[in-house]
Amino acid sequence: MKMVFEDSNLNQLVYNALSFGTAVMLGAFVYFLTQIKSVAKQYQSGVAVSAVVVGIAGYHYYRMWSGWAEGTVNQGYRYADWLITVPLLVIELLIVLGVTAERRKKLMSTLVPATVLMIALGYPGETASSDGTKWTFWILSMLPFLYILFTLSGELKAAGAREKGPVASSMKNATAILLLTWLVYPIGYLFPVIFDAGNEGAETARQLAYTVADITAKGLFGLMILNIAKARSGDSH
Ligand code: RET
């Protein structure tokens, strides 16, 4: 194996994390596919979107992992992955939230462009070498980020208040996972700014943080979406 880092332990740690990420995403892909038919018809597309998200991520993790094994780091795969999957995660949530079709359309028309803007503004900062540029794009990207988080957590709270029993509690779980995992990204991004840019420990921490957050935001969140859809399907049968 060629090495990205001089420290072989850190190199191996990131290699293992990317390999683990690939395995979890591909396993989750198969699982979500088997679950589509287990929910009522109007929620099936929500579970299908979960499968698409982890399928796309599995491919990107495979590319990042094999790149790492050859001694290269391509942050482009992460950003390409987020660019596709983050809008999809928002869409899958809106499908199971139980808002009217009209409201859903309206929410999508602002939230989807906001997610694209957030990721697109992050990339130039992620690949920049100067701290000033990194901070500038971080601040710009935080604006759509905060808008998305406030809007989604407001919708989730409102939806949770409309529901009771298992639907309400699975919505609470989904909200917690959403807020906790999404916060990891803007913090992980700053590791090379807070520490020295060439610090291999900080770079390892950033790769691990992104990987754990991706697994949680896509896989575990997908499970929460499935729980909501299942609880809802029980109600309507
Ligand atoms: C960036 C740049 C710095 C500022 C902010 C960011 C936010 C990224 C987010 C990514 C979410 C990814 C998800 C992936 C799912 O699998 C782009 C790091 C705010 C919130 C949910």
Compute, in angstroms, the gap from residue 208 CA to the centroid of ligand 1. 14
Q: For ligand 1, is residue 145 a contact (CB within 6 Å)?
A: yes
From 24, 64, 82, the mutation candidate for ligand 1 (largest count of ligand atoms within 8 A of CB) is 82
Where along the chain do its domains lie?
A: 8-232
- Counting residues of the chain whose pLDDT is more than 90, the rounded percentage is 82
- Counting residues of the chain whose pLDDT is more than 70, the rounded percentage is 99
Higher pLDDT, residue 65 or 174: 65
The whole-angstrom separation of Cα 118 and Cα 137 is: 9
Q: With cut-offs at 50, 70 and 90, classify the pLDDT of residue 184.
A: very high
Give the residue whose CA is nearest to atom 13 of ligand 1: 86
Summarize pLDDT for 90-144 with one digit per residue, the tens. Answer: 999 999 988 899 999 999 999 999 999 999 999 999 999 899 999 999 999 999 9
Which CATH number applies to 8-232?
A: 1.20.1070.10
Determine the pLDDT at residue 223.
96
Task: State pTM to two decimals.
Answer: 0.94
**Please, are residues 83 and 120 in contact by the beta-carbon 8 Å criterion?**
yes
CB atoms within 10 A of CB 185: 21
190 CA closest ligand 1 atom index: 3
Give the tokens for residue 163: 């529901």
Give the residue whose CA is nearest to atom 1 of ligand 1: 122
pLDDT at 168 over 60: yes
pLDDT at 86 over 80: yes
**Please, are residues 155 and 107 in contact by the beta-carbon 8 Å criterion?**
yes
Higher pLDDT, residue 206 or 198: 206
**Please, are residues 200 and 6 in contact by the beta-carbon 8 Å criterion?**
yes
Determine the pLDDT at residue 237.
46
Give the tokens for residue 203: 């770079």
Angle at 200 between CA 194 and CA 201, to 5 degrees: 70
pLDDT at 235 over 70: no
Compute, in angstroms, the gap from residue 172 CA to the centroid of ligand 1. 21
| Residue 212 phi, psi dihedral angles, 5° rounding | -60, -45
The whole-angstrom separation of Cα 63 and Cα 79 is: 13
pLDDT at 55 over 90: yes
Summarize pLDDT for 35-53 with one digit per residue, the tens. Answer: 999 999 999 999 999 999 9
Give the residue whose CA is nearest to atom 16 of ligand 1: 214
Give the chain's mean pLDDT. Answer: 94
Give the tokens for residue 26: 């591909």
pLDDT at 236 over 70: no
Q: For ligand 1, is residue 56 a contact (CB within 6 Å)?
A: no
